[in-house]
Amino acid sequence: MHDSRLTLPPQPLASAPGHRRSRPTRLRPTTVWVALAVCLSLVAGCGSDDKKKDTAAPDAGPAVTEFKGDPNKACELATKAEVEAALATKVKAGVGALGTVCTYVVENAFDQSVVLERTDSPESPQFFELSKSSPDAAVEPLPGVGDDAFIAGNKAYVLKGQVLAGITVTLKQPQPAVTAAIKKLAQAAAQHA
């Protein structure tokens, strides 16, 4: 039987000091084909010296889609007054982005905020279940909020129809106060979703 693998000259074994026994090194067929493909592509890249003009249109880069919706759509999940009531402090007006994210920042505390995320999609129930089954944080169900809702850490997820709302609260307060704020905001999001 003939072995079709390429065989290289014998290499000394390093297992025994002073022992010069050698064995052939075999390359896998895949390694040979990859090396051959690389060599051929390098040779193909060496074109002629013709100074032909490139008649193809220049690459315009990736297509850009302009957002035409309401950038503050996610801000509808909770009003400024509802956020202030939940946090028991003043916040700046919500700033939306592409209709999917809205951020309310606590006045005089740029590192404390509420971030609302909104996804309106037929796949929202699957995303919700996936988030619910994540091992990252303990899940606390929120019965009576939307179709289904839960808290995990400093974030709540609310599912209502095909709208999935995510509420993240970042405060320099004890966890029970953060959790209470999240619960209030989850109820607001369920009403507005």
The DSSP code for 132 is: H
Distance CA 144, CA 142 (A): 6
Distance CA 186, CA 181 (A): 9
Ranking 81-90, 122-131, 133-142 by mean pLDDT, the lowest is 133-142
> What does pTM read for this prediction?
0.63
CB atoms within 10 A of CB 148: 18
Q: What phi-psi label fits residue 108: left (phi over 0), alpha (psi between -120 and 50 degrees) or beta?
A: left
Residue carrying structure tokens 């000394």: 12
Distance CA 68, CA 193 (A): 20
Mean pLDDT calculated for residue range 110-117: 94
The predicted-structure confidence for 33-92, as pLDDT tens digits, reads as follows 344 344 334 444 445 455 544 455 555 566 665 656 677 788 889 999 999 999 999 999
The DSSP secondary structure of 15-50, one letter per residue, reads SSTT---EEEEE--HHHHHHHHHHHHHHHHHS----
The band of 135, judged by pLDDT with boundaries at 50, 70 and 90, is confident
- For the chain, give the percent of residues with pLDDT over 90: 47
Mean pLDDT calculated for residue range 127-148: 87
The mean predicted confidence, pLDDT, of the chain is: 76
Give the residue with greater pLDDT, 31 vs 96.
96
Q: Using an 8 Å Cβ cutoff, are 177 and 171 in contact?
A: yes
Which residue stretches of 46-123 are H helix? 80-87
The encoded tokens of residue 101 equal 């994210």
Question: What's residue 42's pLDDT?
Answer: 41
Whether residue 29 is predicted with pLDDT greater than 70 in this model: the reply is no
Q: What phi-psi label fits residue 90: left (phi over 0), alpha (psi between -120 and 50 degrees) or beta?
A: beta
The predicted-structure confidence for 156-188, as pLDDT tens digits, reads as follows 999 999 999 999 999 999 999 999 999 999 999
All structural domains of the chain: 7-45 (no CATH), 73-192 (3.40.1000)
Which residue stretches of the chain are H helix? 29-45, 80-87, 124-132, 175-192
Question: What's residue 14's pLDDT?
Answer: 47
Question: What's residue 39's pLDDT?
Answer: 39
The band of 151, judged by pLDDT with boundaries at 50, 70 and 90, is very high
Mean pLDDT calculated for residue range 129-153: 88
